[in-house]
Amino acid sequence: MMSPGAVLYTEMVTTGAILFGNKKRHLDFNDEEHPVALQLGGSDPSDLGQCARLAEDWGYDEINLNCGCPSERVKKGNFGASLMLDPKLVADCFLQMSERSSLPVTIKHRLGVDQQESYGFVSDFVGALENVGCRTFIVHARTAILKGLSPKDNREIPPLRYQDVEKLKKDFPSCSFILNGGITSSGELSYATDKLDGAMIGRAAYHNPDFLQVADQILFENKPRDTEEIIEKISEYAGKEIKKGVPLRCITRHLLGLFKGKPGAKLWRQRLSDSAQLEKNKSTFIRDTYTSLRASLSSS
């Protein structure tokens, strides 16, 4: 709704969860989410190939292999950022995924892992993937520190090295490089589109959804959507989900930042977090909350 031109990436879903768990729970999505990419976590080429086949059958538009997640749990499972230490294995995974599905397969990765943080390290990694046909890389422009830093610290402490992503773009002209990490302003968005091939926005969009509209204007030159129209569509969506048995609070908790930096933001968060009202699972709750917010602001 807020950025129609964007490609949506799922959270990382492990191959084991898909192959041995509830496939519908892990793979289902709404038609409104297109274009949508399934982000996979795994290191077994055969398992990833099977999941790629399922992704195509399920109607996804892209498959993404995560080689950048820095958590300890991921490290023990030999996937995520630790995969960068074995580019041949990643190449085998890519080939299996490409052979089992006609969807584009992309790679998300870091610039380095622990002490392996030279430009030559990431260049060799990208080169190994380019040799087997990978053409799109989403680069979190930091090193992943698997020993000693939490996933949260890994998003903030290792310094950003945008210049190394630029160098990759120059050294691999047949490939596309999407910039990830630290993109919180229009200036960084412009940099990603002027110097590289696009931007991936993560938590900045979650905590401040209006940033998606800023991105949409810069990347696709679209006009901002009307707030009332957005609220109406979200309310319609909530009504459908409630009928499926989804608790209303599972939807409203993702909307708390909708008015960040704008008048009434605190009041919006307070009213949307009213547990007594949320328990009623009323499909019009979001629309009613917005209407009362506007009334409160106009009378103050």
Q: pTM for this one?
A: 0.93
pLDDT digits (tens, 9 = 90+) for 149-168: 888 888 889 999 999 999 99
**Alpha-carbon torsion, ordered 109, 110, 113, 118, to 10 deg:** 120
- Structure-token pair, residue 236: 């319609």
**pLDDT higher than threshold 70 for residue 24:** yes
Q: Which DSSP helix (H) or strand (E) runs through 111?
A: strand 105-113
Ordered DSSP codes for 222-243: PPPPPHHHHHHHHHHHHHHHHH
pLDDT digits (tens, 9 = 90+) for 53-108: 999 999 999 999 999 998 766 666 678 999 999 999 999 999 999 999 999 999 99
pLDDT number for residue 237: 93
pLDDT digits (tens, 9 = 90+) for 112-131: 999 999 999 999 999 999 99
Question: From the candidates 51, 69, 93, 134, which is the catalytic residue?
Answer: 69
Nearest Cα residue to 45 out of 105, 93, 98:
93
69 included as an active-site residue:
yes
Q: With b meaning 16 or more CB within 10 Å and e meaning fewer, what string describes 156-166?
A: eebebbbebbb
Domains of the chain: 8-220 (3.20.20.70), 227-299 (1.20.120.1460)
Nearest Cα residue to 148 out of 216, 86, 212, 75:
75
pLDDT number for residue 151: 85
